[in-house]
Structure 1
Amino acid sequence: MDIKQLRIFLNVAETGSFSDAAKRLNVTQPALSRQIRLLEEDSGSPLFIRTGRGVRLSEAGEKMLPRARLLIEEMERLRMDMTAFAGELHGRVRLGLPPSVGSVLAGPVVERFHRDYPNVKLRVTQLLSGALQESLLNGRLDIGILFEGNVSPALRSQPLWSERLFFITTPHERWQGVEMIDYADCLSHPFILPGPKHGLREVLEQATRKIDKCLNVVVEAESLAVQMELVCRGLGCTILSFEACKNHIDAGRLIAIPIVNPDIERVCSLVWSRDYSLTRATHEMADVITEIAGVMFSSTPKVT
C-alpha cells in the first residue's frame, strides 16, 4: 500500500461513493476502483461494503480509517515543513475557538498572523468546546483553545489565561445596588446554558455539586449568540466571562455581577492532539496566540 492509495481510500470513505470520490480527485472511476482493489489485496480484507446508495466501510475499513488519516496528515505536515525551509513559510493552519473566546481573540490573532505569514492558508472554526475537542482528536483541526477541566488526556495543553465568571442577567431594578452574589443564591434562578459537553457547563456542574445543589437549566442553547439573545429577553440568566458579554453590557442590555463563595473561574488553554505533530506554521500560530493572550488578559497563569 502507498500514500496515493490511502488518499483514495479516505476520499471514498468520506464521500461514501466511488463515483463522487473519482470526481473529487479528478480521476476515472475504473482507475480509482483499481487502486482500492490493490489496497484491499495488500490489506488482506475488503475495506468497503457495497450498498444500494454507494459504499460504507467494512470492519477492516473502520480499523484502517484513523490510521490512514494519521499517515496522510503526517505526510502533509512533513511536506509543509520541508517547503518552509526553502523560503517563506507556507502551509495551512486550522484553528478552533469556542464562541466566548472567538468573539474576543479571533480578530487580533488572525490580523497579526496574516500580516506576519501571508502565504499560510488559515481556517478559523468556531465550535462549542465539546465539538471542538472532537475535531482536534480526529485531526480536523490543528490547534484550538479549550477550558481546563474538560480537556481529553489525548490532547496536550498549555495554560494561557484564567478568567472570572459573572452572573449575567438583565438590568432589572431588583439588582440595583447588588455588588456581588453568592453562588448558592445564583442557583435559585433559571439558567440558559450550553449542553453538558460544553466546558462552561462542566465548570458550573462541578461547583454546584460541591455545595450539594442543582442547576435549574430551562433552555440549553448551543450558540453563544442565541444564549445572549434569550438572556436579553429576560427568559433566564447565565454565567459567563465579562468579555463574552461586553457588547451587551456596554449597550445596557445586560449586567454582570461578580460571583462569590466561591469565586467561579476557568482556565483557558491552548490545546493540540498528542497524535499529530505540529507543523512549523502551527507552531507560529501558537506563538501568536500566546503573545496576544498575554497582552489582552492580565491574569495569565504561569506556564511551566
Structure 2
Amino acid sequence: MHHERLTLRHLLSLKYVDAVARTRSIRAAAKTVSITPSALNRRIIALEEELGVDLFERNSKGVRLNSAGELFVQHIRSQIADLERVRSQIADLKGMRLGHIRIAATPEIARYLLPLQVRKYRSEFPGVTFEIQVIERSEVENALTSQTCDLAMSLEPNNTSEFHEILNIGQQIHAVIRTDHVLSNRTSLRLTECLEYDILLPMRGNGLREALETASSKKRIKISPIIESNDLHLIQQIISEGDGIGFTVPFFINSRDLKENVCYVPLDLKEVALVKVFIGQLRYRTLPVATAKFVENIRLFFEE
C-alpha cells in the first residue's frame, strides 16, 4: 500500500514539472494544477534534490528547462501518455468508457470540425474528458514528437515524417459566393473563372490556400487576394456583406456558421485537387482506447 501511495505521489510531481515546463512560470503553473505557488515550488525543489540535478534555469522573468530538464520532461510525457493509454484500456475492459483525449488541431479543424464531434462523443461517453490545443500547420509534427498530444489533426500538414497516418480524407474545395452573384447558379466552377473576380483567401501557411496556389501556378496565374485572414468565418462574413469570392471545404459547410445569402459551389477537380484532412499519431505509439474510438467516430462522420 505504501508503494502505491509513493507511485501516485511521484506521478503527481511529474505532472507538476510538466505544467511548469509548459507555462515557464511557477505562478501560472500553480493555477493550472490547483495548488499554491509556494507549494508547487517546494515540490519541484524536492524532486530536483531527489534526482540530484536541477531541471530548470531560474531568473527574474520566470523559469525554463535546462538540458537535463528537457530530457526529463520528454520522459515524463512518454510516461503520462503510456499511463493514460493503460487506464483507458482498463476502463474498456470494465465496460466503461473513461479516459482523456489529447488533440492538437489546426484552427479550421478546431473551430469547424471538432465542436460537433466532441459534443456527440461526450453525449455517448460522458466520462471522457478532452484537452484540445489549437496549433499552426508548421507545429503539427512538434506537437506529436513533444508528446503534448496523442492525436494531431491538420489540413495538409507540412511535414509528416513522424506522422503515422490514421485517416486521410479528401475534401473538394468549394467557392463561397453570395446567392445573388452571377456564378451562384452553377453546379461547378473552374478556378480560373473565380479569379476573374475579387478573391478572399486564408493567410499564407494555410493548407487550403496552398492547394489553391498550387492549382493556379499550374495555370501560370498568380492569385492576388484583396483580403487575407486566418479566420474562415470572417471571410464568409465579408462575402455575405457583398465583397468577392472565397473558398472553403465541406466540413465547414456542414458546420453551423453558415449565412443564408451565401452559397457554396464545388471547384472542378480537373483544375483543383482534393485538399486532404490528415489525422494521425506519433509513429510506433498505440492510441488510448477512448482516442481510437473518437477517431472511428470521425471516420464515420466523413463517410456519411
Deviation at 1:17, TM superposition (A): 3.7
2:220 counterpart residue number:
212
Is residue 256 from structure 1 mapped to residue 265 from structure 2 by the alignment? yes
Closer, same or farther: CA 95–69 of 1 in aligned 2, 3 Å: closer
2:117 counterpart residue number:
109
1:91 counterpart residue number:
99
Matches within 5 A, 1:1-304: 3=11, 5-18=13-26, 21=29, 24=33, 26=35, 27=39, 29-39=41-51, 41=52, 46-95=54-103, 105-106=113-114, 109-123=117-131, 129-130=137-138, 135-148=143-156, 150=158, 152-159=160-167, 161-175=169-183, 178=186, 180-242=188-250, 244-245=252-253, 251-256=260-265, 258-259=267-268, 261-274=270-283, 276-295=285-304
**1:96-115 CA distance string (max 9 Å, x none):** 55565567654663454234
Closer, same or farther: CA 178–291 of 1 in aligned 2, 3 Å: closer
> Which TM-score applies when normalising by structure 2?
0.76
Aligned residues: 290
Closer, same or farther: CA 146–29 of 1 in aligned 2, 3 Å: closer
> Percent of aligned positions with the same letter in both sequences?
20
Deviation at 1:136, TM superposition (A): 4.4
Structure 2 residue identity aligned to 1:33: I
Which structure 1 residue ranges, 5 or more long, are not aligned? Answer: 296-304
Closer, same or farther: CA 218–281 of 1 in aligned 2, 3 Å: same
Distance, in Å, in 1 between the alignment partners of 2:41 and 2:267 is: 62
> Which TM-score applies when normalising by structure 1?
0.76
Distance, in Å, in 1 between the alignment partners of 2:185 and 2:88 is: 57
Deviation at 1:50, TM superposition (A): 1.8
Deviation at 1:278, TM superposition (A): 0.8
Structure 1 residue identity aligned to 2:222: C
Which structure 2 residue ranges, 5 or more long, are not aligned? Answer: 1-9
Deviation at 1:281, TM superposition (A): 1.0
Deviation at 1:51, TM superposition (A): 0.8
Deviation at 1:156, TM superposition (A): 1.6
Closer, same or farther: CA 193–106 of 1 in aligned 2, 3 Å: same
Structure 1 residue identity aligned to 2:299: T
The worse-fitting range, judged by mean Cα deviation, of 158-167 and 250-259 is: 250-259
Structure 2 residue identity aligned to 1:7: K
SS in structure 2 of the partner of residue 272 of structure 1: strand
Distance, in Å, in 2 between the alignment partners of 1:286 and 1:54 is: 38
**1:99-148 CA distance string (max 9 Å, x none):** 65567654663454234323222355666655666544543433244334
SS in structure 1 of the partner of residue 242 of structure 2: coil
1:299 counterpart residue number:
none
Closer, same or farther: CA 181–82 of 1 in aligned 2, 3 Å: closer
